[in-house]
Amino acid sequence: MKNFDIKKLTAFKIGGEITNVYFPKNIDEFCNIKDEYKVFGNLSNTLVSSCGYDGTVVLTDKMQYVEINGNRVKAAAGINGPKLSQMVAAVSLSGFEFMIGFPGSIGGEIAMNASANGQCISDNLTSVTLFSKEKGVFKLTKDEMEFDYRTSICHKENYIILEAEFELIPCDKSNIEKQMVDNMEFRRSHQPLLNLPNCGSIFKNPVGFSAGKLLDDIGAKALSVGGAKVWDNHANFIVNPNHNATSKDVLSLMVDMKQRVKDKFGIELVPEIIYLGNKDKEEENLCKILYQK
């Protein structure tokens, strides 16, 4: 699609026009895209510039197929966590209870090795089908994915996740459902619900520290810039309650949060969310502060 207004599709409800957007439904359609592009799932952890992006984006959220054979599950990159969590629970398979409140897609969750409530996406993963322009379509095992806290080989190499295979654990359905209810209750008290525009945790936890605790200690819950504000219930979330925040509002607020933690504790917070799009001079400077290597 040409000149696609992305705002309504982003979790933050922020973003301008993107020059070209593709929505492949399967691996063949994905491989037939010839443009230079950036790939995303459902933009659940991405801040898209309000000025848009002069380039091509591929969104894998239409890649929705799932195969369940016994305790083996194959899932396309675009299916979202809550949907897959419910599908496997219905056939008494455990391992995805933690995803019931996650807004992200499977591809993105694997790339960042998502985890919560004592479970991790890589726990029961066996292999991942990926794509790169150099290798084409290929597979890596769990060990070859180089999983670590909030990272995988996809952050080091230009690899794109297309689908994944898992071996889940047969379990009593009532126990699975109870865990999912408990996880949702935990999310309601610790994270914004999906109908309050947000991009998930803003900063990664520094080694040995909680980003949320550090931000709480510097009074971050009182901070806001334009339409963006720190969530009242957890200091490591920025929300867009009135749907009128800009990308510059969010970046400015992130810089303020980061600087206050550095000034008080000497700790450099690293963003967990991704930035995509055009930048004016001010946004360029803000991104240099936030995403410095």
Active site residues: 150, 201, 272
Tokens of 253: 């607020």
CA-nearest of 18, 35, 137, 17 to 77 is: 137
Beta-bridge partner residues of 139: 129
> Within 10 Å of residue 83's Cβ, how many Cβ atoms?
15
Cα(262)–Cα(260) distance, integer angstroms: 5
Under a CB-based contact definition with an 8 Å cutoff, are residues 205 and 195 in contact?
A: no
Tokens of 218: 């510097």
CA-nearest of 88, 70, 71 to 79 is: 88
Query: Which secondary structure element, helix H or strand E, spans residue 127, and what is its range?
Result: strand 125-132
Cα(26)–Cα(223) distance, integer angstroms: 43
For every residue of 210-278, DSSP letters joined together read -HHHHHHHTTGGG-EETTEEE-TT-TT-EE-TTS---HHHHHHHHHHHHHHHHHHH-----B-SEEES-
Q: Which residue type sits at 85?
A: S
> Within 10 Å of residue 51's Cβ, how many Cβ atoms?
17
CA-nearest of 201, 214, 196 to 271 is: 201
Tokens of 257: 């949060």
Q: Which residue in this structure is represented by tokens 């334009």?
A: 226
